[in-house]
Structure 1
Amino acid sequence: MQPTPNPSAIAAAAATAAGAMLRLRSCIVSHLLSSPAAFRVSSPHRLLSAAAAPISPSQRFAVEDYLVSTCGLTRAQALKASTKLSHLKSPANPDAVLAFLAGLGLSGADIAAAVAKDPRLLCAGVDRTLASNVVGLTGLGLSGSDVALLATIAGEPFRFKSVVPKLQYYLPLFGSSENFLRALRKSSHLLTSNRDRVVEPNVALLRECGLAACDIAKLCMVVPRILTANPELVREMVACAEALGVPRGSGMFRQALQAVSFKSKEKIAAKASYLKKIFRWSDAQVSHAVCKAPIVLRKSNSSLQQRSEFFLSEMGLEPAYVAHRPALLSYSMEGRLRPRYYVIKFLKANGLLGQYRDYYNIVMLSDKVFMERFICPHKKAAPHLAKDYATACKGEVPANFRFT
Structure 2
Amino acid sequence: MNTFGFTSKSASRVSKYLRFKTREQPESVINLLKTYGFSQADISKLVKRYPKVLGYGLERITAKIEFLASRAASPRDVVDVLISSPKILDRSLENHVIPIYDFVKDVVDSDEEVIAVLKRGRGRLFGRANGSDIPVGIDFLRDIGVPESNIAYVLLRHPQALRDSGRVKQAVEELKEMGGFDPSKKNFVKALIVKCGLSESKWRKKIDVYKSWGLTEEDIFGMFKIYPQCMASSEKKISAVMDLVVNKLGWGPSIFPGYASLLALSLEKRIIPRDSVIQSLLSKGLIGKKSYTPKVFMLTDDVFLDKYVNCYEDADKLLKLYRK
Tell me the TM-score normalized by structure 1: 0.66
Provide the rounded CA distance (Å) in 1 between the counterparts of 2:198 and 2:99. Answer: 32
Give, in angstroms, the shift of residue 85 of structure 1: 6.0
1:275 aligns to what?
Answer: 210
2:80 aligns to what?
Answer: 149
1:57 aligns to what?
Answer: none
Q: Contact conserved, 1:113 with 1:152, CA < 8 A, in 2?
A: yes
Q: Contact conserved, 1:146 with 1:177, CA < 8 A, in 2?
A: no
Percent of residue pairs bearing the same amino acid type: 22
Amino acid at match of 1:193: R
Amino acid at match of 1:137: L
1:387 aligned residue (313, 320, 323) = 320
1:108 aligns with 2:36: no
Give, in angstroms, the shift of residue 236 of structure 1: 0.7
Q: Give the 3 Å change call, closer, same or farther, for CA 241–223 of structure 1 in structure 2.
A: farther
1:136 aligns to what?
Answer: 67
Q: Which has the higher helix share?
A: 2
1:315 aligns to what?
Answer: 249
Provide the rounded CA distance (Å) in 2 between the counterparts of 1:257 and 1:205. Answer: 13
2:234 aligns to what?
Answer: 300
Q: Contact conserved, 2:227 with 2:261, CA < 8 A, in 1?
A: yes
1:88 aligns to what?
Answer: 21
1:226 aligns with 2:158: no
Q: How many residues align?
A: 317
Instruction: Please state whether the residue corresponding to 2:311 is helix, strand or coil.
Output: helix
1:184 aligns with 2:121: yes
2:29 aligns to what?
Answer: 97
1:254 aligned residue (172, 185, 189) = 189
Q: Contact conserved, 2:242 with 2:253, CA < 8 A, in 1?
A: no
2:136 aligns to what?
Answer: 201
Give, in angstroms, the shift of residue 235 of structure 1: 0.7
Give, in angstroms, the shift of residue 144 of structure 1: 0.7
Amino acid at match of 1:224: P
Provide the rounded CA distance (Å) in 2 between the counterparts of 1:72 and 1:274. Answer: 41
Q: Give the 3 Å change call, closer, same or farther, for CA 95–193 of structure 1 in structure 2.
A: same
Q: Contact conserved, 1:246 with 1:252, CA < 8 A, in 2?
A: no
Query: Which residues of structure 1 form unaligned runs of 5+?
Result: 1-67, 392-404
Q: Give the 3 Å change call, closer, same or farther, for CA 83–237 of structure 1 in structure 2.
A: closer
Give, in angstroms, the shift of residue 346 of structure 1: 2.2
Instruction: Please state whether the residue corresponding to 1:247 is helix, strand or coil.
Output: coil
Q: Give the 3 Å change call, closer, same or farther, for CA 365–216 of structure 1 in structure 2.
A: farther
1:374 aligned residue (291, 301, 308) = 308
Amino acid at match of 1:232: G
RMSD (Å), alpha carbons: 3.4
Provide the rounded CA distance (Å) in 2 between the counterparts of 1:352 and 1:300. Answer: 36
Provide the rounded CA distance (Å) in 1 between the counterparts of 2:129 and 2:191. Answer: 26
Q: Give the 3 Å change call, closer, same or farther, for CA 390–159 of structure 1 in structure 2.
A: same
Tell me the TM-score normalized by structure 2: 0.80
Provide the rounded CA distance (Å) in 2 between the counterparts of 1:347 and 1:109. Answer: 50
Instruction: Please state whether the residue corresponding to 2:304 is helix, strand or coil.
Output: helix
Give, in angstroms, the shift of residue 233 of structure 1: 2.3
Q: Give the 3 Å change call, closer, same or farther, for CA 204–372 of structure 1 in structure 2.
A: farther
Provide the rounded CA distance (Å) in 1 between the counterparts of 2:225 and 2:13. Answer: 49
Q: Contact conserved, 1:237 with 1:257, CA < 8 A, in 2?
A: yes
Give, in angstroms, the shift of residue 147 of structure 1: 1.1
Instruction: Please state whether the residue corresponding to 2:287 is helix, strand or coil.
Output: coil
Provide the rounded CA distance (Å) in 2 between the counterparts of 1:268 and 1:321. Answer: 22
2:171 aligned residue (205, 217, 237) = 237
Provide the rounded CA distance (Å) in 1 between the counterparts of 2:218 and 2:51. Answer: 55
1:334 aligned residue (257, 263, 268) = 268
Q: Give the 3 Å change call, closer, same or farther, for CA 338–199 of structure 1 in structure 2.
A: same
Q: Give the 3 Å change call, closer, same or farther, for CA 78–319 of structure 1 in structure 2.
A: closer
Q: Contact conserved, 1:154 with 1:184, CA < 8 A, in 2?
A: yes
Q: Contact conserved, 2:120 with 2:159, CA < 8 A, in 1?
A: yes
Q: Contact conserved, 2:137 with 2:168, CA < 8 A, in 1?
A: yes
1:26 aligns to what?
Answer: none
Provide the rounded CA distance (Å) in 1 between the counterparts of 2:16 and 2:207. Answer: 49
